[in-house]
């Protein structure tokens, strides 16, 4: 008999060879129906995987990310089977699950177009109706080669050679008369896949290598119900409306040009948003005890050898020569900060020392991955590096978490946290130091009462880390803030402080960023708010519209009152009908639209319209100015902003 331990600590005895499905059925029929796969001692296995040892077990359902991965991986096999039934001569490369569905890279006899996606989708539904079982079969390398050679799948032969060279087992999954090379695991049968949608087709390269021949990537999504698929498709359409690249053009925030691909050009409106975020960031960091620094953008190549970036990151760096010496444009701010710390002696009495930098960095991203503000070649990191002693780690982590929470709550973002611990093999520093550091991070998370996901072995080689994933109004997750402990950089730069006993000690270095990248964070904000930025962030906070030229001077007086109060206000002077002026202001997503007619001009009033809400009635100018000033000073969110 073997003992299975469940997440809640409960245990159950099972016979050798029992399967997770049998165990689930014994617990409850509903669990057996919902289960898609199982986690057995950290290994993802199918529900018919035999159990031959004591183990920790967790059943995976649609609610688990790993469960979705199995579901979408199996759906990718259905996609490939459908394609092969429609185009028997098509050659299959690879078809993994992704964070938002799945794809398959395929060499079609002749390239397909958007008009063929409906055919593939209909064939997938036909395949699903058969409810075929996915059966795993292990083969030796020669058997696998013969199996796929007989089917003319030459791309699979290359994959088999690579798998065999690594000494790994080779397996295929059969569903009906079709089979695919795959390690699995998979669903028991395709009957669990209820709703599918083929989304797009685009270019790709064999095995993902641009040196290889070009294929086509067919992307799709699947769900356990049509209602869930419909909701997902609705969110896709909503995301298109909120696309920050589209809104960036329409609202004149930023642009991209061929003279600098991947380098954003900030327009006046966008610069206002950028500067407001900088002002917010600086205020909070001054209050939290950080000192701001600036380091050069171009530094000697020798520095990047010293920091380790030359060895691990030079493919993503830009280089130049000055006075016949080699230099690099910085891709990260850490080495410059270490240089400042190491430029003078330090005592334990100075620690923790918090150095913050809004550092502009450059990274050589491939043109194919550039995506508006989300993936650029030049961006500003809101970096900070905390130099502290090991006993200070916990307190400093608590303070950073609290700062992250304050900043994200200002924008209305919820978030999830992940703690990544020491890698199994490649890491720097002693086990004792790692255990102390991980213990400090866990204690800090416990002190703030934070729920978090544990990612064992997923830390960087130089230290454990906490990552923050914010959720926008469409439910999308974005990894922004990070807190990383670093034992490597202080060692490489020989950083020291004088301890209380007079000895020379290495400080612990905490890397942390909250926005992560100003550019990317602004892109997230634009999409989260659909361009309807809260009043304090809006490039133009209010616009004054005279109904006729007869009220122009009264409207100008209202604008001056707003400007004197420090509000960003414009005056509409065009001789257009008031309806036209209002529509134009609405399209610009200006939060406050103030209309001045004859009655308002005579009585010192304005007719107030709020973007997203419409007419709010007539108000005294002074009263409205006070209200807007309160919204801005408190950096408050208004209810209509995310609507």
231 is catalytic: no
Helix 393-410 vs helix 431-447: angle between axes, to the nearest 10 degrees? 40
Give residue 639's pLDDT: 59
Which one from 175, 216, 381, 392 is the annotated catalytic residue?
381
Helix 518-528 vs helix 268-287: angle between axes, to the nearest 10 degrees? 110
* H-state helical runs in 383-456: 393-410, 431-447
CATH number of the domain that 227 lies in? 3.30.980.10
107 is catalytic: no
Sequence-distant (≥ 6) Cβ neighbours of residue 110 within 8 angstroms = none
**Backbone φ, ψ for residue 254 (5° rounding):** -160, 170
520, two tokens: 């990317």
Which one from 383, 467, 472, 486 is the annotated catalytic residue?
383
Decide if 245 is inside a domain. no
Question: Residue 184: left if φ>0, alpha if ψ -120 to 50, beta else—which one?
Answer: left
Instruction: Give the chain's radius of gyration (CA, Å).
Output: 29
CATH number of the domain that 48 lies in? 3.10.20.30
Among 175, 205, 240, identify where a domain stops. 240
Sequence-distant (≥ 6) Cβ neighbours of residue 458 within 8 angstroms = 420, 421, 423
546, two tokens: 């005279």
511 is catalytic: yes
Shared domain for 53 and 71, answered yes or no, is no
Q: Which of 544, 522, 543 is nearest to 531 (CA)?
A: 522
Which one from 511, 528, 588, 609 is the annotated catalytic residue?
511
Shared domain for 487 and 580, answered yes or no, is no
Which one from 77, 330, 385, 520 is the annotated catalytic residue?
385
Full residue range of the structural domain in which residue 610 is found: 542-633
Decide if 558 is inside a domain. yes
**Could you tell me the pTM of the whole model?**
0.84
Decide if 535 is inside a domain. no
Strand 291-292: give its sheet, edge to edge. 291-292, 353-362, 378-388, 508-513, 477-486, 465-471, 414-420, 453-455
Which one from 334, 337, 338, 480 is the annotated catalytic residue?
334
Give residue 264's pLDDT: 96
Sequence-distant (≥ 6) Cβ neighbours of residue 188 within 8 angstroms = 21, 46, 47, 48, 133, 134
The span from the CA of 246 to the CA of 373, in Å, is 11
Decide if 312 is inside a domain. no
331 contacts 295 by C-beta, under 8 angstroms:
no
Shared domain for 346 and 454, answered yes or no, is yes
CATH number of the domain that 575 lies in? 3.40.50.800
Among 502, 528, 554, identify where a domain stops. 528
Shared domain for 55 and 77, answered yes or no, is no
Decide if 613 is inside a domain. yes
Give residue 431's pLDDT: 81
The span from the CA of 78 to the CA of 175, in Å, is 9
Classified as helix, coil or strand, 413 is coil
Shared domain for 26 and 92, answered yes or no, is no
232 is catalytic: no
Instruction: Using 50 as the pLDDT threshold, list the residues of the chain that sit under it.
Output: 642-643
> For residue 290, what is the DSSP state?
-
Shared domain for 72 and 211, answered yes or no, is yes
325 is catalytic: no
Decide if 122 is inside a domain. yes
Q: What is the DSSP string of 16-60?
A: TT--HHHHHHHH-HHHHHH--EEEETTEEE-TTPPP-S-EEEEEE
Q: Count other Cβ atoms within 10 Å, centred on residue 103.
A: 24
The span from the CA of 361 to the CA of 163, in Å, is 39
CATH number of the domain that 519 lies in? 3.30.930.10
The span from the CA of 345 to the CA of 364, in Å, is 36
Which one from 465, 512, 528, 568 is the annotated catalytic residue?
465
Give residue 643's pLDDT: 41
Shared domain for 99 and 186, answered yes or no, is yes
Among 499, 528, 557, identify where a domain stops. 528
- Asked if omega into 185 is within 30° of 0 (cis), the reply is yes
Which one from 309, 362, 363, 506 is the annotated catalytic residue?
363
Shared domain for 463 and 569, answered yes or no, is no
Decide if 326 is inside a domain. no
52 is catalytic: no
Decide if 612 is inside a domain. yes
> What are 354-395's pLDDT values in tens digits?
999 999 999 998 887 889 999 999 999 999 999 999 899 999
469 is catalytic: no
Q: Which of 641, 469, 643 is nearest to 541 (CA)?
A: 641
Shared domain for 342 and 490, answered yes or no, is yes
Shared domain for 38 and 84, answered yes or no, is no
Q: How far is CA 11 from CA 2, 22, 56, 390, 398, in A?
A: 10, 15, 9, 38, 35
Helix 141-149 vs helix 154-165: angle between axes, to the nearest 10 degrees? 170
Shared domain for 24 and 84, answered yes or no, is no
Q: Give how many domains the chain has, as a whole number.
A: 4
Shared domain for 468 and 508, answered yes or no, is yes
């Amino acid at each position: 008999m073997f003992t299975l331990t469940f997440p809640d600590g409960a245990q159950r005895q099972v016979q050798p060879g029992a399967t997770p499905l049998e165990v689930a059925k014994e617990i409850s029929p509903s669990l057996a129906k919902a289960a898609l796969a199982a986690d057995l001692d950290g290994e993802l296995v199918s529900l018919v995987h035999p159990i031959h040892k004591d183990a920790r077990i967790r059943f995976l359902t649609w609610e688990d990310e790993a469960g979705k991965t199995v579901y979408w991986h199996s759906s990718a096999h259905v996609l490939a089977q459908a394609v092969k039934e429609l185009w028997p001569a098509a050659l299959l490369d690879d078809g993994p699950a992704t964070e938002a569905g799945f794809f398959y890279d395929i060499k079609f006899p002749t390239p397909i177009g958007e008009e063929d996606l409906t055919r593939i989708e209909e064939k997938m539904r036909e395949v699903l109706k058969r409810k075929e079982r996915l059966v795993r079969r292990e083969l030796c390398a020669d058997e696998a080669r013969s199996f796929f050679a007989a089917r003319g799948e030459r791309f699979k032969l290359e994959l088999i050679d690579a798998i065999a060279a690594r000494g790994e087992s080779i397996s295929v999954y059969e569903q009906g008369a079709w089979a695919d090379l795959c390690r699995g695991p998979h669903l028991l049968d395709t009957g669990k896949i209820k709703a599918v949608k083929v989304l797009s087709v685009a270019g790709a390269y064999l095995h993902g290598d641009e040196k290889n021949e070009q294929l086509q990537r067919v992307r799709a999504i699947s769900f356990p119900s049509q209602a869930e698929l419909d909701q997902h498709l609705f969110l896709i359409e909503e995301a298109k409306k909120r696309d920050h690249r589209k809104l960036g053009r329409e609202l004149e925030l930023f642009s991209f040009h061929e003279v600098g691909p991947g380098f954003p050009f900030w327009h006046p409106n966008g610069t206002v948003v950028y500067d407001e975020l900088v002002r917010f960031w600086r205020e909070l960091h001054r209050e939290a005890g950080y000192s701001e620094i600036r380091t050069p953008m171009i530094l000697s190549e020798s520095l990047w050898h010293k920091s380790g970036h030359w060895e691990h990151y030079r493919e993503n760096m830009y280089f130049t020569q000055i006075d016949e010496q080699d230099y690099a444009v910085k891709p990260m701010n850490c080495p410059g900060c270490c240089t400042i710390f190491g430029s003078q002696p330090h005592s334990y009495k100075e620690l923790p020392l918090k150095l913050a930098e809004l550092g502009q960095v450059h990274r050589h991203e491939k043109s194919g991955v550039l995506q508006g503000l989300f993936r650029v070649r030049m961006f500003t990191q809101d970096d900070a590096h905390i130099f502290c002693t090991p006993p200070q780690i916990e307190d400093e982590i608590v303070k950073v978490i609290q700062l992250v929470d304050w900043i994200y709550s200002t924008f209305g973002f919820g978030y999830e946290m992940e703690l990544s611990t020491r890698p199994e093999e490649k890491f720097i520093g002693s086990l004792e130091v790692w255990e102390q550091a991980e213990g400090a991070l866990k204690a800090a998370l416990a002190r703030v009462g934070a729920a978090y996901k544990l990612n064992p072995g997923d830390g960087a080689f130089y230290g454990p880390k906490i990552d923050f994933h914010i959720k926008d109004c469409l439910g999308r997750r974005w990894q922004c803030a990070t807190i990383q402990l670093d034992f490597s950089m202080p060692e490489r730069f020989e950083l020291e402080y004088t301890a209380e006993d007079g000895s020379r000690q290495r400080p612990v270095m905490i890397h942390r960023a909250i926005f992560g990248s100003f550019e990317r964070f602004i892109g997230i904000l634009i999409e989260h708010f659909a361009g309807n930025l809260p009043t304090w962030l809006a490039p133009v906070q209010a616009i004054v519209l005279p109904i006729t030229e007869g009220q122009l001077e009264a409207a100008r007086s209202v604008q001056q009152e707003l400007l004197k109060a420090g509000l960003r206000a414009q005056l509409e002077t065009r001789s257009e009908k008031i309806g036209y002026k209002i529509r134009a202001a609405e399209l610009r997503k200006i939060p406050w639209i103030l209309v001045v007619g004859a009655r308002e001009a005579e009585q010192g009033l304005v007719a107030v319209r709020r973007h997203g809400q419409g007419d709010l009635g007539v108000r005294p100018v002074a009263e409205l100015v006070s209200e807007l000033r309160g919204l801005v000073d408190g950096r408050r969110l208004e209810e209509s902003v995310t609507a």
